[in-house]
Structure 1
């Protein structure tokens, strides 16, 4: 059973240590630590099925000097005695101290302490 605290921690680490990392090697380390080997990342750009694919997709999104920020509290739904937990987090991505250029929502499912699925929804895209 995944506790709300564990799921919250995984979601935040995913945002900062995986999506916020400019290093392919560090992303792969953290993906191995936080994601199951058969996890899926699904966003408007595609479905990414391996840690390597996920890391390369993230590299394509990164902008030099931009950072992720949390725009909401993590909300967790995990029925008692369930082996699966689901959480969501609204985030922003842009230059530190400025209005985010990109905003979105991550929804994850966690099973056995690892991310099984990550769904990303974009709210605001650059130029909007």
Structure 2
């Protein structure tokens, strides 16, 4: 069963991780981590949304720490470009699964124009945190 562990005043509460939670995490990951130009803001959101040992895997490599993920994002960003959702989030794991899995198609480019780069993010979420992010690219800038 997929759940979030919440500790409050020395009480531990188990809460179900819903499709809505997984959807929220995936969208926040796109906009607040990959869309943020600030290294400090990315690290803050990575600490909140990702487990400490989460992995980001894309065609450029495997990134094993929050610092590595944030640095990888810095290397990918283009000034003035923004992310957009090209599909609805699709939660692909069963409701009672221990690990939630979802995917989102996205575009990246200048606002109001066709995206220069498109791709697909697939995340796995356990205990309310991203465990893995796999990014598949459809196109590359200049192609």
* TM-score, scaled relative to structure 2: 0.88
- Conserved? CA contact 2:107–2:118, under 8 Å: yes
Q: How far apart, in 2, do the equivalents of 1:28 and 1:102 lie?
A: 24
**Contact 2:22–2:91 (8 Å) recurs in 1:** yes
Please list every run of at least 4 consecutive aligned residues from structure 1 whose deviation after the TM superposition is greater than 4 angstroms.
Answer: none
TM-score (normalised: structure 1): 0.98
Task: Identify which range, 80-89 or 107-116, moves more after superposition.
Answer: 80-89
The one of 51, 57, 61 aligned to 1:42: 57
Equivalences, count: 128
Unaligned stretches of 5+ in structure 1?
none
Deviation (angstroms), 1:78: 2.4
| Structure 1 vs Structure 2 CA RMSD | 0.7
1:33 alignment partner, SS class: helix
Q: Deviations over 1:14-56 (max 9, x none)?
A: 0000000000000000000000000000000000000000000
**Deviation at 1:80?**
3.1
Cα distance in 1 between the residues matched to 2:55 and 2:75: 17
Structure with larger Rg: 2
CA-CA distance at 1:127 after TM superposition: 1.6
Instruction: Return 5+ residue gaps in structure 2 as ranges.
Output: 1-15
Query: How far apart are residue 126 of structure 1 and its match?
Result: 1.1
1:74-125 Cα distance to aligned partner (Å, 9 max, x none): 0002223222110000000000000101000000000000000000000011
Q: Contact 1:2 / 1:84 at 8 angstroms: preserved in 2?
A: no
